[in-house]
Structure 1
């Protein structure tokens, strides 16, 4: 179903309609917000045709999953944003995707979000006085998307500090698996933020950029700084997790080396003893030592001195 929101001057209030045919509704006073979140594929195609949206842009707008991007044509601009809808960074299920097609007086939106609270926030603000513009709506979407990351990242900072303390005191494989999952999620989040940061970076520094015609330099800088900060935070947290992972692996390798050192010393002690036992375990008749009355005790004593001598040598070399 297509939802149309418009301001009625006679009633001095915002009105909402559910329609299936869009052509006759275009006479409504601007600004108009067309919400296609619950629209079918046929209804989406109808709106794209009625608004004369380029086929490539219409395809990007209607796509279920699309990385953040900005594209402009003669009358409409396409802005695809991705918010973070999961409660934490233990796993990522599906990003909150916001597809926006907007011109000076028309906004077409499609929001895919499985988190109810964020989905409620991803709706334009309908001012009671009707003093609102499409630019205000797009700005609202952008700010909500950036805020969906900020709160989770600030909470994760405390979790990361606790995780670091736990790893320093008593690291284990379970904590290691948690860090690996968090790091994987942060890598995906970082990629989305990099796309969105670049969108507004290009708008700030490219001459005659289309977004510069809609937003002031202050707004564009605000958007860029928000996404740049979020991108830097994910970079920093990813690096910290990587350091913890590498530190745990180094500690584990050191512990394995210590165990291997003990096993090597034990083997080094018992190899010559095994050699002696093997020599005198051969049952040849012409072995003079076999008939020696005190040969057994002398051999044991020699083996004892060989073992103690090896231990003394290891101690002298500071190997243990």
Structure 2
């Protein structure tokens, strides 16, 4: 389904219209927002062909999943972004895919987001009494995309601190599994943030960048700093979680070594005793010690003395 909102300069109001009612030539003050969230591929192609948008932009726009991208041809600019739509970092379902094609007068949007609250924030706000500058809508969408990550990252800081304290005192495999899930999610969103950070980094230093058509250098630098900060935060949290994993593995390895040391000392003490038991357990006829009246007690005393001597030796060497 195609939803078209047309701002009529003569009446200074927004009106829902059909594609057939859309003027072939827009007046200088007219504005059009076309919402293709629920449109089929054929309907999307129909709308984009109506504005004679280049096939390469059309192909990228209608693709179900596309990494963040910026491209421009003629008067239209394609901007693809990804927001974070899940509640937290414990589970990653899918990103909020934001596909925009816009000019000074036209905005075509397709937003795929399973989070209703974020979807509402990404949807342009139609004011029936006033017109709108398309670049302001695009700017608001960019800021909303960055905020979708920032809120979760700020909340995650406290959660990670609690997890770090828990791992320090009573780390277990369940917490390790949670850490691995967090690392997986952070790695995925870090890729999205890298793409989006690079988009605005290139826009700052390229004189012919299409974003310069609609935004000032100050605004582009602000966009870049937002995504660069988000990217740095995800890197920091990922490294901290990696440190927790390494710390847990080191602690577990140390505990295993301590247990192995105890088992080794026990084995070192009992192997000689087992050797003595093995000798006197042989069924030879000529074993003089078997005829001794106190042989049993002497053997037990020798075995006890050997065990105690072993323990004393471990204590002197600092192994126990």
Q: In 1, Cα distance between the equivalents of 2:199 and 2:24?
A: 30
Q: Name the CA shift for 1:131/1:48 in 2 (closer, same or farther; >3 Å).
A: closer
- 2:69–2:195: 8 Å Cα contact kept in structure 1? yes
Gapped regions of structure 1 (runs ≥ 5): none
Matched position secondary structure for 1:275 = helix
Matched position secondary structure for 1:114 = coil
- 2:149–2:230: 8 Å Cα contact kept in structure 1? yes
Matched position secondary structure for 1:297 = helix
Partner in structure 1 of residue 317 of structure 2: 317
TM superposition score normalised by structure 1: 0.95
Partner in structure 2 of residue 117 of structure 1: 117
Matched position secondary structure for 1:57 = helix
Partner in structure 2 of residue 45 of structure 1: 45
- 1:22–1:47: 8 Å Cα contact kept in structure 2? no
Q: In 2, Cα distance between the equivalents of 1:59 and 1:12?
A: 34
User: Displacement of 1:31 after TM fit?
Assistant: 2.0
User: Displacement of 1:128 after TM fit?
Assistant: 4.9
Structure 1 residues 149-189: Cα deviation after superposition (integer angstroms, max 9, x where no partner): 11111111111111111111211111111111111111111
Q: In 2, Cα distance between the equivalents of 1:24 and 1:78?
A: 21
Matched position secondary structure for 2:14 = strand
Q: In 2, Cα distance between the equivalents of 1:54 and 1:258?
A: 68
User: Displacement of 1:27 after TM fit?
Assistant: 3.7
User: Displacement of 1:10 after TM fit?
Assistant: 3.2
- 2:14–2:131: 8 Å Cα contact kept in structure 1? no
- 1:66–1:80: 8 Å Cα contact kept in structure 2? yes
Structure 1 residues 284-308: Cα deviation after superposition (integer angstroms, max 9, x where no partner): 1122222222221111111111111
Q: In 1, Cα distance between the equivalents of 2:193 and 2:226?
A: 10
Q: Name the CA shift for 1:226/1:26 in 2 (closer, same or farther; >3 Å).
A: farther
Partner in structure 2 of residue 195 of structure 1: 195
Gapped regions of structure 2 (runs ≥ 5): none
Partner in structure 2 of residue 140 of structure 1: 140
Q: Name the CA shift for 1:247/1:154 in 2 (closer, same or farther; >3 Å).
A: same
Partner in structure 2 of residue 2 of structure 1: 2
Q: Name the CA shift for 1:88/1:304 in 2 (closer, same or farther; >3 Å).
A: same
Q: Name the CA shift for 1:119/1:46 in 2 (closer, same or farther; >3 Å).
A: same
Aligned length: 318
Matched position secondary structure for 1:52 = coil
RMSD: 1.5
Q: Name the CA shift for 1:286/1:248 in 2 (closer, same or farther; >3 Å).
A: same
User: Displacement of 1:23 after TM fit?
Assistant: 7.8
Alignment of 1:235-246 (within 5 A): 235-246=235-246
